[in-house]
Amino acid sequence: MTPAILLAQKHQVEHHIHQYHHDPAAESYGEEAAQKLGVSTEQVFKTLVVMTDSKELITGVVPVSGTLDLKKIAKAAGEKKVVMADKQLVEKVTGYVLGGVSPLGQKKALRTFVDESAQYFDTVFVSAGKRGLEIELAPDDLCKLTEGKFADIGRE
Structural domains of the chain sorted by starting position, each given as residue range(s) with its CATH number in brackets: 3-155 (3.90.960.10)
Q: What's the rounded Cα separation, in Å, for the pair 70 and 156?
A: 13
Q: What's the rounded Cα separation, in Å, for the pair 23 and 36?
A: 10
Half-sphere exposure of 150 (CA within 13 A, CB side): 11
DSSP conformation letters of 77-131: TT-S-EEEPPHHHHHHHHS--TTS--SSS-SSPPEEEEEGGGGGSS-EEEEEEET
Which residues fall within 8 angstroms of residue 10, CB to CB, at 6 or more apart? none
- Kind and range of the H or E element at 6? helix 3-10
State pLDDT tens for residues 107-127.
999 999 999 999 999 999 999
What's the whole-number mean pLDDT along residues 95-116? 95
Q: Give pTM, 2 decimals.
A: 0.95
Q: Give the per-residue pLDDT at 26.
A: 86
| 3-class DSSP state of 17 | strand
Q: Give the per-residue pLDDT at 25.
A: 87
For residue 87, count other CB atoms closer than 10 A to its CB.
12
State pLDDT tens for residues 134-147.
999 999 999 999 99
Q: Give the per-residue pLDDT at 24.
A: 86
Q: Do 141 and 63 meet the contact criterion of CB atoms below 8 Å apart?
A: no
State pLDDT tens for residues 17-72.
999 998 888 888 889 999 999 999 999 999 999 999 999 999 999 999 999 999 99
Q: Give the per-residue pLDDT at 103.
A: 98
Q: Give the per-residue pLDDT at 29.
A: 87
DSSP assignment letter at 44: B
Instruction: Examine the pLDDT at 82 and tell me if it is beyond 90.
Output: yes
Q: What's the rounded Cα separation, in Å, for the pair 57 and 87?
A: 12
DSSP assignment letter at 66: S
